[in-house]
């Protein structure tokens, strides 16, 4: 598997984001469950797609720069056919590496109460609950998480402060 940076308009990225939005719409019973403005090419700093060895796009994730020290994870998604195979972890580690490479000290994200698998995943990966931020402050259905990034350990793994 390879996780590679792509343009927001990349057809694989567009297809994966559309699949993510369909899944979210089904979970929440609405096509518009986003508490803030939807991400666009103009406000996404980086976007990545995960490909299997045969070139099949199976997951994606992006980062929105919030300020000089923080980024927000946006449109993290793995196709159902690839779940449980490590794709989400590979994408997340690439997002964390990008943050570190760009001098960010923290990543934050928003998810919702119907996305229990996402909550379990992010918690397992060292994210902890934080106060709602930005566009999500007044959204009672927003669950927000954050993770402090620190440089890689000698084995090359991104680590975080206070993780198990």
Of the candidates 118, 120, 123, the residue with the CA atom closest to the CA atom of residue 78 = 118
Pairing status of strand 2-5 against strand 159-160:
unpaired
Domains of the chain, by residue range, sit at: 2-160
CB 101 within 8 A of CB 137: no
The pLDDT value recorded for residue 157 is 54
User: Cα 133 from chain centroid?
Assistant: 16
DSSP 9: T
pLDDT at position 159, please?
45
At 153 the pLDDT is 56
- Give the residue ranges of DSSP H helices in the chain: 11-28, 87-101, 116-124
Can you say whether the dihedral through the CA atoms of 46, 28, 135, 90 is positive or negative? negative
Q: Whole-angstrom distance between the N-terminal and C-terminal Cα of the chain?
A: 26
| pLDDT at residue 162, rounded to an integer | 40
C-alpha 135, offset from chain centre? 16
Give the predicted TM-score (pTM) of the model.
Answer: 0.89
Residues contacting 85, CB < 8 A, separation 6+: none
pLDDT tens series, the chain, 164 aa: 999 999 999 999 999 999 999 999 998 888 777 788 889 999 999 999 999 999 999 999 999 999 999 999 999 999 999 999 999 999 999 999 999 999 999 999 999 999 999 999 999 999 999 999 999 999 988 999 999 998 865 555 544 444 33
The CATH superfamily of 2-160 is: Gcn5-related N-acetyltransferase (GNAT) (3.40.630.30)
Q: Which pLDDT score, from 0 to 100, does residue 150 have?
A: 86
């Amino acid at each position: 598997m390879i996780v590679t940076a792509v343009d927001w308009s990349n057809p694989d990225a567009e297809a994966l984001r559309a699949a993510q939005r369909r899944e979210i719409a089904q979970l929440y019973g609405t096509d518009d469950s986003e508490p803030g403005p939807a991400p666009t090419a103009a406000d996404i700093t980086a976007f990545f797609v995960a490909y299997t060895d045969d070139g099949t796009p199976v997951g994606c994730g992006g980062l929105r720069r919030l300020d000089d020290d923080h980024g927000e994870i946006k449109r993290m998604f793995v196709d159902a056919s690839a779940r449980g195979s490590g794709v989400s972890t590979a994408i997340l580690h690439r997002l964390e590496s990008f943050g570190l490479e760009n001098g960010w000290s923290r990543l934050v994200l928003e998810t919702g109460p119907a996305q229990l698998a996402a909550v379990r995943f992010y918690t397992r990966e060292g994210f902890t609950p934080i106060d709602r931020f930005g566009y999500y402050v007044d959204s009672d259905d927003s669950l927000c998480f954050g993770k402090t990034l620190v440089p890689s350990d000698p084995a090359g793994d991104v680590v975080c402060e206070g993780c198990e």
